[in-house]
């Protein structure tokens, strides 16, 4: 269903992206922001899911700034590699700019939503704060470090999804986010970190389905 394309970021950097087209006329665009594992089979399947729902889906390979073509699995070793890239070599502001470049392409389909998972969940929240000229709606899943953004206010409508049993995001932080951003709907599930990813042991089918339904409904309301 999808194909590989090239994006040009605001600083001239070129990165790859996975583009998934809807079968009929697009109802809008969605940018899918990866976890710490690159644009791998799972992220491509998420983009395909949004395309199947009628959206032009773009998944930018934000790890290309470290090196092109990174696709990791979910072993402890891969987690350490991905975490080292996300928290080490990447410039967060440049990554947000890369996501904006993906949004500019998705804009050809109309209004644009952004959805991100794990590291991508934090980027999604940052996009809702910084990129109101690019995105019209945002859905952030278990974004590690989102609590560090609460001194600024999202200006794009956003919903958020967290797992109550998340080892990486304390519920105290989730409560801080909810209190700081009262206009953002925060959903908490009986689930662990990564509950949306059906390639991980922490996958939880019912919370994933509920969160997906909520995101589809939210994007339908915000994107038309």
Q: Which of 118, 161, 173, 197 is catalytic?
A: 118
Helix and strand totals (H; E) in the chain: 6, 8
Q: Which of 48, 98, 161, 193 is catalytic?
A: 193
Residues 89, 106: Cα–Cα separation, whole Å: 27
Residues 139, 22: Cα–Cα separation, whole Å: 20
Residues 142, 153: Cα–Cα separation, whole Å: 18
Helix (H) or strand (E) holding 97, with range, is helix 92-106
Structural contact between residues 151 and 171, judged by C-beta atoms closer than 8 angstroms: no
Active site residue 197: no
Q: Which of 48, 64, 98, 166 is catalytic?
A: 166
DSSP label at residue 80: H
| DSSP codes joined into one string, 146-203 | GGGGTTS---S-EEEEEETT-SSS-HHHHHHHHHH-TTSEEEEES--TTTT-TTSTT-
Sign of the Cα torsion 191, 196, 201, 204 reads positive
Active site residue 118: yes
Residues noted as catalytic: 118, 166, 193
């Amino acid at each position: 269903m999808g194909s590989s394309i090239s994006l040009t970021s605001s600083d001239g950097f070129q990165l790859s992206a996975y583009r998934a087209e809807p079968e009929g006329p697009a109802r809008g665009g969605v940018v899918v922001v990866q976890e710490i594992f690159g644009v791998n089979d799972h992220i491509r399947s998420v983009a395909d899911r949004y395309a199947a729902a009628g959206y032009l889906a773009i998944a930018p390979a934000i790890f290309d700034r470290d090196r092109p073509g990174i696709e990791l699995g979910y072993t402890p070793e891969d987690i350490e590699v991905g975490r080292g890239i996300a928290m080490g070599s990447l410039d967060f502001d440049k990554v947000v700019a890369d996501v904006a470049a993906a949004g500019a392409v998705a804009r050809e389909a109309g209004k644009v939503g952004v959805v991100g998972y794990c590291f991508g969940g934090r980027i999604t929240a940052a996009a809702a704060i910084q990129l109101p000229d690019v995105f019209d709606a945002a859905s952030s899943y278990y974004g590690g470090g989102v609590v560090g953004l609460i001194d600024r206010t999202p200006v794009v409508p956003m919903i958020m999804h967290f797992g109550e049993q998340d080892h990486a995001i304390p519920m105290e932080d989730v409560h801080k986010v909810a209190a700081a951003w009262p206009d953002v709907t925060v959903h908490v599930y009986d689930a662990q970190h990564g509950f949306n990813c059906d390639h991980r042991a922490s996958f939880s089918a019912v919370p994933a389905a509920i969160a997906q339904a909520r995101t589809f409904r939210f994007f339908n309301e915000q994107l038309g």
